[in-house]
Structure 1
Amino acid sequence: MDYIVSKGKNAKKASKILSILDSNTKNKALIRMAENLVNNSQAIIEANKIDMEKGKEKGLSQALLDRLLITEKRISDMAEGLREVADLPDPVGEVIKMWKRPNGIRVGQKRVPLGVLGIIYEARPNVTVDAAGLCLKSGNAVILRGGSEAINTNKCIAQILKDSCVQCGLPEGAIELIEVTDREAVNIMLKLNEYIDVLIPRGGSGLIKTVVANATVPVIETGVGNCHVFVDESADMAMAKDIIVNAKTQRPGVCNAIETILVHQNIAERFLPYIANELYKHKVELRVCQDSKKILLNTIEDKEIFNYIKDVTIEDWSEEYLNFILAVKVVQSIEDAIDHIDLYGTKHSEAIITRDYFNSEKFLNEIDAAAVYVNASTRFTDGSQYGFGAEIGISTQKLHARGPMGVEQLTTIKYIVYGDGQVRI
């Protein structure tokens, strides 16, 4: 308990300094963080090897191991993300708008940091870098609590980032890492209202539900991703194939990968065998509805593919597989597809493949999700892909922030009022 509270006190003290820190100093620290990550690549990779070996011993899935893995390229990407964040406009201090009242007072809205953010996340060491960079740019202190699977990697990365900040004159508490893996540490963070202003959980549904259900600190809920692609009857089949293969197989263990495809009945007999053959090349298991199964039985010539086809269950429609598994359903209409997504989707990312302008607009307007795509992969739901440099998570809620959370989403507003001696009558 004392250990966590001391981290909270340090972060709270640092947040007061960070909230009024000038942009130039913050940007210099971000650039130094990027340089030192690259310069210490070998140390990070060596620490990561320990975590990878332990992960394999624990039987982590290939998708989770991919999330955990650190390479020279991924370190370079993390460093580039920090540089991109440094290049972004500083949101802190921006006066969003101002207006004058009849009595002469001028009322304005000004962006200010949230304060201290607590980030609770699982086996993704890149979150350590993204969260630290975005919080620094937006004038917030951060308390990081990563999963036990990545503890050695996170400790190495966090120390590099902390040292970089101190080298640039920032307070030591700007970036704090909880280095104990005991779950009690999380339970304490959830109720550390005196020192933590906002909690952001980033991981699987179990983690997010636990944080939301038990926290007394305000929570921004991030993205379990049960994402869909709807292949409309007017879809370009080659385009649909490319998008589905990308959205499922490029990195299946991330929240913006798709878990279900919905295929219009008028295109199903042509499209389903086509996409099944393509997905078989990537060893994707298909969990299919009865209509899909009937079509595939009658159209697929390579019987080996049936080793990768199973009957869907009702539970599959709600599943975030994070693996090489994809549910498949034939739908009667776009309305049927929208109803299915409304029932089973997690309001993360949804896509339609269509050449019908009316249907594309209908899908955009009626789908309730943080990101809705027409003729593009859901894998673009990402802070760097949206031009934010990085993201601290994908918010699937509707209050304050929604979608990829960049520096602006890590600020709030306060009202500033200029008067000339006015009093209320």
Structure 2
Amino acid sequence: MKKNKKLLFRIELNYAFVQSGFWLAHLVLQGFSAVFLAYKGFSNTQIGITNSVMSVLSICFQLIVSSFSDHRSDIPIKRIMASLMLFAMISSAMLMKLPLSITLVAIVYTIGGGIHNANSALVNAQIMQYVNAGLDVNYGWPRGVGSMAYAITAFILGNQLDKHSPSILMPLYMVFIFLTIIVCLLMPNVSSVADKSVALYVQEKNSDRTTFLQMIRGNRTLFFFLLASVLLYMGQTPNMLFLVRVVYHLGGGSKELGICMLIQSGMEMPAMFVVPTLLKKYKARNLLVFSFIAYAAKTFIISMASSMSIMYIAMFLSVLCYGLYGVCASFFANDIVAQGEKVRAQGLVSLASYLGAIIGNLIAGVLIDGIGINALLNISWVIQSFAAAIMFMCASIDKKRAAKL
């Protein structure tokens, strides 16, 4: 028993470093995307289009990578992740060292970002493979540590960008992603620490190979969950991409932007510590409905904000937004699909977020340049309200499905 607890803690601690490294790299690459691209001479519309194209590539890479991972049981997830991170690292080196035109910057940035984002589903699948193999690992606190690392670094980086050029972002990305590759490869192989067979967490060797389309068509719960997630991210992603514009509109600067990101990500950590306990008492579907409502409420408050104080208050609602969604979505997707579809289910959840980002970012840049940030915020909370309604419908369908089992 003592040995088992020691093993679980070793996995969780290692995974906490993976989460921290990945999200720190994500922060400098995409958390300050609008700042970096504006520094390179991009307009709001160009920033929106660039991030939408990145989301398209992210979807393509997600589909290929998650399907490949499900079908190739002989290649550990961590090796696939490390390979993708290495390619993303090369892209960041090109952005840092080569004198590129705006067009070439957009091409390299979108490809590198798309490859980086392809890992987001695998990061979740990496811990879920231990869960599916019968190990009682805790997803919550390692993910919470990642959020806290993101929050603290966002605050520090926000202050530093007032003093230094955004050119520091790409070197930082290379450092963070390199460290993530190391800790990722240090994760123990599931087959060496679990009693159950490998077939429990990857595509079963002799099982029927379902396609993505067959998965969605044959699973109403999954379909409505993905639809709700697309709408959620249509409203959410543009707000995060152009958070800097909202802050500047309220009279703030890079320091205030860093504070917003600190509060937002910092509030996610307490929720992620508590969620595993909540999941023992409440169904993931019900927590997700609550989270969707919180997202809409948060964006509504931001749209009504007349000062940075109200903006900070809205950021505190993040404890009920991604703080709940980040963990519950992974468990919910894992539970509602069959064996052999687990990794692809995580990929589809990430795919839904990128599809929402494509639509949202395309509209956002044009709206801000045309009729202003307030119009974007009002449209966003209305879309998120629709997402909450669909998530409620999804929860009802899943409840009926579970009752028949």
TM-score, normalising length from structure 2? 0.26
TM-score, normalising length from structure 1? 0.25
Question: Whose relative contact order is higher, 1 or 2, with alpha carbons under 8 Å and at least 6 apart?
Answer: 2
Please identify which structure carries the higher strand content: 1
Greater C-alpha Rg: 1
Please identify which structure carries the higher helix content: 2
